[in-house]
Amino acid sequence: MKFVAELEQGGSARLRASRRITLTGLVINTALASLQLLLGWLGRSQALLADGVHTVSDLVTDVLVLWGLHAGAQDADEEHPYGHGRYETVVTVILGMMLTAVAVGIAARAGIRLSDPANIPVPSAWTLVAIFAAIFSKEGLYRYTLRVAKQYDSRLLRANAWHHRSDAISSVIVLLGVGGALLGVTWLDALAAVGVAIMVGRIGIQLAWEAVRELVDTGLESADLEQIREVTLSVDGVKSLHELRTRSVGGRALADLHLLVKEDVSVSEGHHISEAVRHALISGLPALTDVTVHIDPEDDEVQPPSLGLPLRSEMLERIRQRLAGFPEIGQIDGVRLHYLGGRVHVELYLPLAACAEPQRASLGEAFRGAVAEDPVFGNLEVYFH
């Protein structure tokens, strides 16, 4: 319970930090957009006006991020048994697409400027105040948001951080454009915009692609899988593992795997081994939040499957029918079944008084002979206690 409480506290800290940084960006973007639009209109700077509109779009982005954080933090329910982390992933896809759209817009604006540089108006010099304010505030938001994103491993915040960086770069382009216009080099901003558009577009496509890979349940990287194998095999009682599957949900990872243990361990020991593996994996790999462990007494990828063999009640009836001619059957006080190699191996337990010691070995042979014709039976052993 202590471990679960620590996870919940970590999740709450993650949500609080994410909300705090996003709300900070929302306030700064509101003030900055107002300044850019006002000075862009008064200073006759089309570039600054466009950058102001760009900042307004960031307000929409901040609202999306807040919604994604709120939705993704909801507890698991009947409709979402694995939680709501994928809401963050969906918003990350949207942010990636928006970054790509920003890159296209920057490139298109640069193309228009290059096609007709003579018609670029010369802005007022004091529009530089808004430009420098945008550059420093956006770069500050980028660094702050990225630090929180790395601390809590949030793809959503990482996407929003790069959105802030794209805004800072966009403002640098505006600075080059206004500076170039003031110095008479009107084409400089358009040339720089092309290179920046390529970089921003690459970031947007990369973020969207990673989020889409998560949505289609792409597994963890090979290095993570190898670490899972090493931790699992280090647990006492684990012979091997197979059918290891992983997926990501909102920056966190889930795994399920099959463990091979000795075929004669008890149910409780097998469960204890599985819980030990689960705890070792969640403790050793911070990204893992849940692990489902399936216990196998044999490698079901190699051995004949036991599916289709009769369950216990039917097996007891088969034993009763096959051994009906033996009076000792009424004294059987324990039956253990092992489903291995496509057959049912049986252990019968009788009290010592059921049979004299000299006849015990022959009784076991007689029991085995009675069930030999039934292909469902594997080994049959008789134990006296």
Q: Summarize pLDDT for 33-55 with one digit per residue, the tens.
A: 888 788 878 876 666 766 676 67
pLDDT number for residue 6: 35
pLDDT number for residue 119: 67
Q: How confident is the model at residue 272 (pLDDT cuts 50, 70, 90)?
A: very high
**pLDDT reading at 5 higher than 50:** no
Range with lowest mean pLDDT among 2-16, 59-73, 113-127, 336-350: 2-16
pLDDT number for residue 314: 92
Q: What is the mean pLDDT of the chain?
A: 78
How many CB atoms lie under 10 A from the CB of residue 209? 12
Q: What share of the chain is helix, strand, coil (3-state, %, to 5)?
A: 65, 15, 20
Task: Give percent above pLDDT 70 in the chain.
Answer: 75
Asked, for residue 245, whether it belongs to a domain, the answer is: yes
Measured CA distances, 379 to 27, 86, 134, 310 (Å): 75, 50, 79, 16
pLDDT number for residue 15: 67
Do 113 and 252 lie in a common domain?
no
Would you state the structure tokens that stand for residue 358, as one six-digit string?
Answer: 């000299």
Average pLDDT on 95-108 reads: 78
Do 32 and 180 lie in a common domain?
yes
Average pLDDT on 216-240 reads: 84
Asked, for residue 27, whether it belongs to a domain, the answer is: yes
Average pLDDT on 229-237 reads: 90
Task: Give percent above pLDDT 90 in the chain.
Answer: 6
Range with lowest mean pLDDT among 101-105, 222-226, 272-276: 101-105
Do 258 and 316 lie in a common domain?
no
| Residue 145 to residue 155: CA distance in whole angstroms | 11
Question: Which domain covers residue 379, as residue numbers?
Answer: 312-384
Do 289 and 238 lie in a common domain?
yes
Q: Rounded to 5 degrees, what are φ and ψ at 112?
A: -65, -40
Would you state the structure tokens that stand for residue 23, as one six-digit string?
Answer: 């709300």
The number of folded domains in the chain is 3
Nearest Cα residue to 120 out of 197, 193, 29, 33:
193
Asked, for residue 159, whether it belongs to a domain, the answer is: yes
**Domain limit, last residue, from 215, 249, 272:** 215
Do 265 and 352 lie in a common domain?
no
Q: How confident is the model at residue 373 (pLDDT cuts 50, 70, 90)?
A: confident
Highest mean pLDDT among 65-74, 191-200, 276-285, 294-303: 276-285
Do 27 and 142 lie in a common domain?
yes
Measured CA distances, 192 to 77, 100, 106, 177, 345 (Å): 50, 17, 10, 9, 76
**Domain limit, last residue, from 240, 264, 296:** 296
pLDDT number for residue 112: 74
Q: How confident is the model at residue 349 (pLDDT cuts 50, 70, 90)?
A: very high
By the 10 Å C-beta count (0-12 exposed, 13-18 middle, 19+ buried), 154 is classed as buried
Do 287 and 317 lie in a common domain?
no
Would you state the structure tokens that stand for residue 343, as one six-digit string?
Answer: 């057959």
Highest mean pLDDT among 142-146, 148-152, 296-300, 358-362: 142-146
| Residue 90 to residue 214: CA distance in whole angstroms | 10
Average pLDDT on 303-317 reads: 84
> What is the CATH classification number for the domain harbouring 277?
3.30.70.1350
pLDDT number for residue 364: 86
Q: Rounded to 5 degrees, what are φ and ψ at 296?
A: -120, 135
Q: How confident is the model at residue 223 (pLDDT cuts 50, 70, 90)?
A: confident
> What is the CATH classification number for the domain harbouring 127?
1.20.1510.10
Do 230 and 211 lie in a common domain?
no
Do 329 and 279 lie in a common domain?
no
- Amino acid, single-letter form, for residue 98: M
Do 111 and 199 lie in a common domain?
yes
Tell me the Cα Rg of the chain: 34
Nearest Cα residue to 178 out of 358, 45, 16:
45
Range with lowest mean pLDDT among 28-37, 58-67, 124-133: 58-67
pLDDT number for residue 64: 65
Measured CA distances, 191 to 118, 127, 238 (Å): 15, 21, 62
pLDDT number for residue 316: 92
Range with lowest mean pLDDT among 153-162, 182-191, 312-321: 182-191
In this structure, are residues 291 and 255 in contact, taking their beta carbons and an 8 Å threshold?
yes
**pLDDT reading at 8 higher than 50:** no
